[in-house]
Amino acid sequence: MIKDFFRYALTSMRQRKLRSWLTIIGIIIGIASIIALIAISQGMQNYVEEQFEEFGTNMIIIRPGTLFAPPGAGEYGLNEGDVDVIERVAGVDYVVPMIYDYSNVEFHREEVQAQIFGVPTEHLDELMDDTGWKVEKGSVFKRDDDYSAVIGYLAKTEMFDDDLHIRNSILIEGEKYKIIGILEEIGNEQDDTMIMIPMDRARDIVNKSEEVSMIMAFAKQGVDINELTDEIADELEDSRGEEDFTAMSSVQLIEQISEILGVISLIVGAIASISLLVGAVGIMNTMYTSVLERTREIGVMKAIGATNANILGIFLIESGLIGLVGGTIGVAIGAGLALLVGYISPSLELGFSLVIRIEPSLIIFGILFAFILGAIAGLLPARSASKLKPADALRYE
Amino acid sequence: MVAKTIIELKDVWKIYKMGKVEVPALQGVNLKIKRREFLAIMGPSGSGKSTLMYMVGALDTPTKGSILLDNKDIAKMSESKLAQIRGRKIGFVFQRFNLIPSLTALENVILPMAFQKVSEEKRNKKAKEYLELVGLKERMSHKPTELSGGERQRVSIARALSNDPEVILADEPTGNLDSKTGDHIMKLLVDLHVKKKKTIIVVTHDADIANYADRKIVLKDGKVLKDGRHHKIYAAE
Ligand SMILES: Nc1ncnc2c1ncn2[C@@H]1O[C@H](COP(=O)(O)OP(=O)(O)OP(=O)(O)O)[C@@H](O)[C@H]1O
Ligand SMILES: [Mg+2]
């Protein structure tokens, strides 16, 4: 009998094609935006998780400024003195100061603004190990005053019209550097387009002898990373006199990013829910109209043996079907949208790229949710249909 | 042969309330309808014929009095029990055909059987049989809008026959048809009475049509004015 109801609901929807589609569009918009948002925020989570795996759990980043944000190029405020303070904190394995800034880079007479990364050679091998960065070709520099550069995976092909190769020479602020290494893909555009040069060279370029952009500290094995972060923060605050910096462990960083992403997706999700609510009200409206129009039909069905429950079922299935069709199309559009955003995300310069995966569970959830939502929206109209007195319904004009 | 009473109305009143005004559509109707009777209900417009039909067909309940179907009071039955009675014991034919517009003729005839959970195979077979009986086998995949008035009424007779009910109620079945088509429909109903042994109750304004019946009652102002039997003039046919 359920099968008959489905068939009947479908023919009735086909009978009112335009109105059915308009109602369905309302659901499509709601479901598509929710599915896209869920997929995109999952994509961000995926990215964060992948970063987490890459970084390991023993890294602490110290940056100037009290605001939480990803490391920004051209920021200064920390200095070599801070590096010494951090190195003396018990539990710290080694410390790497960094300069991170923009500068003019020229290759084959083409000049671009690129991010340069000044790193001392002292702990470079350990740093590469702990951050999971690997050299694809060539090697890293061995001396702090070498005119050599190691470039990121994307810098190789994307930075200039001509591809960069090992042993090519580039001009940084007019000085000639030889490319001695190319990194494997790291996974985010910011890191993959970097040009890494020895610390002393970077100091010359940005013309700062003491200051650094950020400091990375690595914990010894078995040390509680969050406790160590607090200790470093305490010591630094003592020596600097105020807390004008941010110390954050990789764990906290991930947590914080996840938290922010969670809040963002909650807010955006709430907004998307409103559009879905509007869609549901649309279904309700359509179903009320349909019940009114079909009052006599309902009377006839009761006259030929339909129970109240049958009538309720017929209308619930119809509104559920509107939801189902809207949900199916909505999920497809939403998933497509998310994949598209994922595809173009590397070029959005967000500092990260989305890892969009459309899980089967998300598809099922979206479609089922729309069906149930449709049925719920149809509940009141269907109830009023089922409660119609047959004689009154038959007399209805 | 003493036929059994299958429908009995005892002092049935129906009073519609329109705001503060009360419209008494039926005022103390007493009526016994016997199995295999062919009853014509006549009377001027507004005399309560349709109201009476709805009562007899368990589509409405009286304000006062009782209606017994097979000696059981319909006022005491649950909603789903009433639906079952309407579906199995009674077949309706309306003046305005009242077919479901989105369904084909065949699907319309199947629908009452679907509500009674008849198996798909059986109801398809039955529906085709009934459509053949009313001479519409060739039209079964047409929608109501693709059929003439007479054809639509024949579909609704086929629909009334599904579930093989004991009683067929027809409220002015020829009211929307020309006289020739109307005659054809009446012939069908008479056939059902004679060959299928159905109890038939027909509401009509038309004295000729009432002559098909073997009992005629006249309603006026919600009361039974006349109730009489006469010889079947068509018996030889
Ligand atoms: N739902 C209703 N509310 C109020 N009054 C009603 C309602 N239904 C019927 N009536 C009134 O009850 C009376 C009987 O109506 P009914 O439809 O039974 O008449 P009828 O004999 O079938 O008339 P007709 O030959 O025109 O079909 C009429 O006066 C009508 O106005
Ligand atoms: Mg009437």
Residue A237 included in any domain:
no
pLDDT in tens, A91-118: 999 999 999 999 999 999 999 998 899 9
Lowest mean pLDDT among A69-73, A279-283, B38-42, B175-179: A69-73
Q: What are the counts of helices (DSSP H) followed by strands (DSSP E) for chain A?
A: 14, 12
Q: How many CB pairs under 8 A join A and B?
A: 77
- Helix (H/G/I), strand (E/B), else coil: A135: strand
**Residue A335 lies inside a defined structural domain of this protein:** yes
Enumerate the residues of chain A whose CB falls inside 8 A of the CB of residue B118: none
Interface of chain B toward chain A, CB-CB under 8 angstroms: 50-51, 54, 57, 59-60, 79-80, 83-84, 86-88, 92, 94, 98-103, 111-112, 114-117, 159, 163
Q: What angle do CA A271, A272, A275 make, to 5 degrees?
A: 100
Computed over every residue of chain A, the mean pLDDT equals 89
Give yes or no for residue A192 having a pLDDT over 90: no
Residue A373 has a pLDDT of 93
Q: Which two tokens stand for residue A390?
A: 């047959």
User: For B83-129, how does the pLDDT look when each residue is reduced to its tens digit (9 = 90+)?
Assistant: 999 999 999 999 999 999 989 999 999 999 999 999 999 999 999 99
Q: Is the pLDDT of residue B236 over 50?
A: no
| A208 and A354 housed in the same domain | no
Would the pLDDT of B208 be above 80?
A: no
How many domains does one find in chain A? Answer: 2
CA dihedral of residues B220, B224, B228, B229 (deg, nearest 10): 100
Pocket test for ligand 1, best of B14, B50, B204 (most atoms within 8 A of CB): B50
Cβ-in-10-Å burial (0-12, 13-18, 19+) of A113 comes to exposed
Residue among B88, B99, B103 minimizing CB distance to A305? B88
Q: In what order do the strands lie in the sheet with B64-69?
A: B21-34, B5-18, B64-69, B72-73
Instruction: Give the mean pLDDT of B14-24.
Output: 92
Residue A71 confidence class, pLDDT cut points 50, 70, 90: low
Distance separating alpha carbons of residues A30 and A51, to the nearest angstrom: 32
What was the pLDDT predicted at A346?
A: 74
Same domain, A163 and A264: no
B49 Cβ inside 6 Å of ligand 1? yes
Contact (CB, 8 A) for A89 and A152: no
Asked if A71 and A63 count as a contact pair (C-beta separation under 8 A), the reply is yes
Verify that A261 and A176 share a domain, yes or no: no
Per-residue pLDDT at A243? 87
For residue A390, which residues of chain B lie inside 8 Å, CB to CB? 54, 59-60, 86
Q: Is residue A320 part of a domain?
A: yes
Least confident of A240-254, A363-377, B84-98: A240-254
Q: Say which residues have a Cβ less than 8 Å from residue A251's Cβ, sequence separation at least 6.
A: A57, A225, A226
Do B101 and A389 lie within an 8 Å CB cutoff? no
Confidence category of residue B2, pLDDT binned at 50, 70, 90: low
pLDDT single digits (tens) B153-191: 999 999 999 999 999 999 999 988 898 999 889 999 999
Instruction: Quote the domain boundaries for residue A282.
Output: 2-52+255-395
For residue A159, give both structure tokens: 């930075």
Instruction: Determine whether the shortest distance from the Cβ of B204 to ligand 1 is under 6 A.
Output: no
Q: In sequence order, what DSSP letters do the residues of B119-164 get, joined into one string?
A: -HHHHHHHHHHHHHHTT-GGGTT--GGGS-HHHHHHHHHHHHHTT-
CATH code of B35-61+77-229, in short, is 3.40.50.300
Please check whether residue B112 is in contact with residue A305, taking contact to mean a CB–CB distance below 8 angstroms.
yes
pLDDT in the model for residue B192: 92
In terms of domains, do A13 and A132 share one? no
Judge whether residue B67 has pLDDT over 80: yes
pLDDT value at residue B235:
40
**What percent of chain A stands above pLDDT 70?**
96
Strands B5-18 and B21-34: antiparallel
Alpha-carbon distance values, B19 to A197, A346, B15, B23 (Å): 92, 70, 12, 10
For range A321-331, the mean pLDDT: 95
Instruction: Please tell me whether residue B87 adopts helix, strand or coil conformation.
Output: helix
Do residue A74 and residue A155 come from a single domain? yes
Residues A338, A36 contacting (CB under 8 angstroms)? yes
ipTM value for the complex: 0.92
How close does chain B come to A30, measured CA to CA in Å? 30
Confidence of residue B205 (pLDDT cuts 50, 70, 90): confident
The mean predicted confidence, pLDDT, of chain B is 90
Tokens at A301, concatenated: 């069905």
Indicate the residue among A202, A222, A242 that finishes a domain: A222
**Mean pLDDT across A245-274:** 84
For residue A258, the model assigns a pLDDT of: 80
Closest Cβ opposite residue B98 in set A300, A389, A391: A300
Query: What are the residue boundaries of the structural domains of chain B, listed by start?
Result: 35-61+77-229
Average pLDDT over residues A299-316: 95
Tokens encoding A239: 């020596």
Burial A51-79 (b: 16+ CB within 10 A, else e): bbebbbebbbbbbbeeeeeeeebebbebb
A182, A223, A332, A358, A375 from A364: Cα distances, Å: 43, 44, 11, 11, 16
- Cα–Cα dist A19/B79, whole Å: 33
Residue A199 lies in a domain: yes
Residues A74 and A171 in one domain: yes
Residue B55 alpha carbon to ligand 1 centre in Å? 13
The residue among A222, A242, A271 that closes a domain is A222
Strand A245-249 relative to strand A59-64: parallel, antiparallel, unpaired?
Answer: antiparallel
pLDDT category of residue B237 using cuts at 50, 70 and 90: very low
Please give the share of chain A, as a percent, with pLDDT higher than 90: 54
pLDDT band at B1 (very low <50, low <70, confident <90, very high): low
**DSSP structural state of residue A346:** G
- Is residue A210 domain-shared with residue A269, that is, in the same domain? no
Nearest ligand 1 atom, CA B219: 21
Mark whether A7 and A108 lie in a shared domain.
no
Mean pLDDT for the stretch of residues B67-75: 90
Which helix (H) or strand (E) is B181 found in, with range?
Answer: helix B179-195
pTM value > 0.80: no
Q: Is residue A22 part of a domain?
A: yes
* A379 and A309 housed in the same domain: yes
Residue B234, pLDDT score = 43
Ligand 1 pocket member B46 (CB < 6 A): yes
Domain match, A208 and A261 both: no
Helix (H) or strand (E) holding A270: helix A250-293
Phi, psi of B124 (to 5 degrees): -65, -45
Given a cut of 60, whether residue B21 has pLDDT beyond it is yes
d(Cα A275, Cα A268) in Å, to the nearest integer?
11
Given this model, what pLDDT does residue A351 score? 60
What is d(CA B163, CA A298) in angstroms, rounded to the nearest whole number?
19
Helix axes A308-344, A17-55, angle to 10 degrees: 50
